[in-house]
Amino acid sequence: MDFLDSPEEAEYRAGLRAWLERLTAEHDGPGMSTRDWHRTLYDAGYIGQTWTVEEGGKGLPPTYDVILTQEVARADAPSVPANPNYLGRTIFKFGTEEQKAKFLEPTLNGDIQWCQGFSEPGAGSDLASMRTRAELVGDEWVINGQKLWTSAAHESDWCFLLARSEPDAPRHKGISVFLVDMKTPGVTVRPIRTTDGHEHTCETFWDDVRIPAGNILGRRGGGWPIAMWALQFERGPADLGIVAGLLKGLHKLDAYAREHELDASADVRRAIAKAYVDIRVLDLNSVRQLSNRVAGHAPGSDGPVAKLLWAIGAQSLGHAWLDALGPLALTGADDGHAVSEYFYSRPSSVYGGSAQIQRNLLAQRFLGMPRT
């Protein structure tokens, strides 16, 4: 990351690094569950540190979250939980006082783990075509439908769910946001094993799921702008640790290639160099985004740029692993890391908005090109 720490940031970084070193030695990794890791970071004061004091945070600049993600990646510790930053802030901005009192503190400290019910089998990048319905019956909302690619739904307590509550309204104006307890009768979660061999995501089914009328976030039918506001914060690579994670993977590949003398091949060196350039471009774009945030500007409409660069960097790294190992990748000589890295990188150009959709957004918003 191309910025110089201030004296205060340098002191913060040194203290954080020392804390992570002690923790890693004590817990072997640290080897703990997602919830325990979240709570550990919170107890140490690292979760919500850039929230305003009014929101329950410390009011630190965004650079502190970037330093946190950098040092966590450097220590090879689990990723910093992202949901407190963007879902928690969304509840703070749009929620009622009762919702804030109920959800903010548990979201910060990890007592509540969230999943995000957006995509559906027929509504991924074209999210506004969703078919999951919510009908107000008396003092309850009754929800029916299916969601797909719901990350960590099998480990979550609550869901930030989008559903169509106004079936006769225009597509983008008939959607509401609901806060749903995942233990509610009628909710079924089925983990999906992806090509890298892990269960990162799930499909969820909602069959006559009844929730209190007060569990709607914001106004009825006003869910689309709320969801878009939340996604502004979800897609910041610097804050989510994407850049730090990719750079860590690149350094690991470079060290492996040198150790096994794979870098003697010009093709291997070229693949690693391409991955380096692609990740550095993402890195520099993240620095620009960070500078805007430090200057007090909210995340803008350049999110599609970051998403595209993120996918390009991740997939370049995945390809570089396979190019470096060649046929050895299929033998498991590297404990299967190259194949896993490659397959893990493939969906990066689909989830969170496909590359095609991001290019359409750039064409319309930046170049002023008409819809076809």
* Distance separating alpha carbons of residues 71 and 77, to the nearest angstrom: 9
Give the burial class of 313: count Cβ atoms within 10 A of its Cβ; 0-12 exposed, 13-18 middle, 19 or more buried.
buried
Looking at 140, 234, 259, 261, which residue is catalytic? 234
> Is 98 one of the catalytic residues?
no
129-132 long-range contacts (CB < 8 A, ≥24 apart) are: 129/171, 130/162, 130/163, 130/164, 130/175, 131/164, 132/161, 132/162, 132/163, 132/164, 132/206
In the numeric block, the tokens 């010009």 are attached to: 266
Are 344 and 318 spatial neighbours (Cβ–Cβ below 8 Å)?
yes
Give the burial class of 176: count Cβ atoms within 10 A of its Cβ; 0-12 exposed, 13-18 middle, 19 or more buried.
buried
> How many residues are listed for the chain in this entry?
372
* Distance separating alpha carbons of residues 253 and 237, to the nearest angstrom: 21
> Could you give the residue numbers annotated as active site?
234
